[in-house]
Amino acid sequence: MIASSELILNERGAVYHLDLRPEEIAHTIITVGDPGRVPVVSRHFDRIEVQRSHREFVTHTGTIGNKRLTVISSGIGTDNIDIVLNELDALVNIDLKQRIPKPTHTSLQLFRLGTCGGLQADVPTDALVISTHGLGLDNLMHYYAADYSDEEQELIRAFISHAGWDQTPLKPYLVAADPDLLKSFTSEPHQLSPYYGITASCPGFYGPQGRQLRAPLAYPQLVDQLSSFRFQHHRITNFEMETSALYGLARLLGHRCLSISTIVANRAAGTFSSDSQKAIERMITRFLDCWLSRES
């Protein structure tokens, strides 16, 4: 039995942070960072059956045609992803009344629709980028007993060598996207975007993404180190603050995940979106069209 101090439920029997019960989520879930983006997604639903809100975690569950899906806001950062993924998994894979894992595993289909900074001049502002891998510059997955493939280990060794981080406190990790979802959404007939690559996930917005206002930086060459990395056919196309944890925890817990982002600022080109809201809405519409086509 899982102790009440470890699996915390509120007075209505819902998981503590998300305030959700098992029947209130679908098995296809869209995550967004901004709580205000949840209704931007759910207005495409034919019917909304559940609306919950607790702290930064806003959830709408509904249907498009006969397809049920959930959209939930995670807030910012891999620490919030730790909460969201563990509690979503608990909703489908733990008997909350008995406080024991269910005998049969349920795998969720997870999609991140987010915003990011671009690292390659040839990937324009407002473009959609699909994350082939999450490069974790955070430390979340170091707290879990995760396994990494030979390809992932080879890639991370190549990046550490390229960045010259062998003797630094930084210990990045790298996790691949779900291969079936990646293949589906990077090729016809359901291709979301021609742009894809490694996404670096940073534990902050300023120093951890190479931005200096007043505080001095320990790694002032970070953006160049990321953007100049090449290994075989891989490069780092963008950075944000969630994908590495999504990919790492999703795989560890037996779920399938794909991260899709709109570039709102291109650090390589020094440009910012002239209408980021329009670009985000275009991403949402494009994703839902491709997803519905794939599911039909």
83 and 119 fall within a common domain: no
Quick one: pLDDT at residue 52? Answer: 98
**Between the CA of residue 186 and those of 100, 155, 183, 197, 260, what are the distances in Å?**
38, 21, 5, 11, 11
150 and 97 fall within a common domain: no
Euclidean distance between CA atoms 68 and 189, whole angstroms: 22
Write the single-letter amino acid at 36.
G
Quick one: pLDDT at residue 207? Answer: 97
Strand 109-118, strand 28-32: pairing: parallel
91 and 131 fall within a common domain: no
Q: Are 231 and 244 in contact (CB under 8 A)?
A: no
Euclidean distance between CA atoms 48 and 64, whole angstroms: 9
Residue 76 lies in a domain: yes
268 and 190 fall within a common domain: yes
Residue pLDDT tens, the chain, 296 long:
999 999 999 999 999 999 999 999 999 999 999 999 999 999 999 999 999 999 999 999 999 999 999 999 999 999 999 999 999 999 999 999 999 999 999 999 999 999 999 999 999 999 999 999 999 999 999 999 999 999 999 999 999 999 999 999 999 999 999 999 999 999 999 899 999 999 999 999 999 999 999 999 999 999 999 999 999 999 999 999 999 999 999 999 999 999 999 999 999 888 899 999 999 999 999 999 999 999 98
Residue 57 lies in a domain: yes
For the chain, helix, strand, coil in percent to 5 are 30, 30, 40
88 and 126 fall within a common domain: no
Residue 246 lies in a domain: no
89 and 140 fall within a common domain: no
100 and 195 fall within a common domain: no
Residue 28 lies in a domain: yes
Quick one: pLDDT at residue 209? Answer: 96
Torsion sign across C-alpha atoms 213, 218, 220, 224 = negative
pLDDT in tens, 205-251: 999 999 999 999 999 999 999 999 999 999 999 999 999 999 999 99
Domain that residue 54 falls in: 1-106
88 and 164 fall within a common domain: no
The secondary structure of residue 217, as a DSSP letter, is P
Quick one: pLDDT at residue 271? Answer: 87
Residue 250 lies in a domain: no
Select from 50, 71, 106 the last residue of a domain: 106
Write the single-letter amino acid at 53.
S
Residue 244 lies in a domain: no
Select from 106, 138, 154 the last residue of a domain: 106
List all residues 6 or more positions away from 144 whose beta carbon is below 8 Å from its beta carbon: 248, 249, 252
Euclidean distance between CA atoms 62 and 50, whole angstroms: 7
Select from 106, 135, 163 the last residue of a domain: 106
Quick one: pLDDT at residue 101? Answer: 98
In the chain, how many domains are there? 2
Q: What spatial distance separates the first Cα and last Cα of the chain, rounded to whole Å? A: 40
List all residues 6 or more positions away from 176 whose beta carbon is below 8 Å from its beta carbon: 132, 133, 149, 151, 152, 182, 247
90 and 171 fall within a common domain: no
Residue 257 lies in a domain: no
Quick one: pLDDT at residue 296? Answer: 83
Quick one: pLDDT at residue 198? Answer: 99
Residue 255 lies in a domain: no
21 and 139 fall within a common domain: no
85 and 158 fall within a common domain: no
CATH of the domain at 144: 3.40.50.1580
Q: Provide DSSP, 76-115.
A: SSHHHHHHHHHHHHHHHHEETTTTEE-SS----EEEEEEE
User: Which pair of structure tokens corresponds to residue 268?
Assistant: 């390589």
136 and 276 fall within a common domain: yes
Euclidean distance between CA atoms 8 and 2, whole angstroms: 10
Euclidean distance between CA atoms 174 and 154, whole angstroms: 10
Euclidean distance between CA atoms 57 and 38, whole angstroms: 10
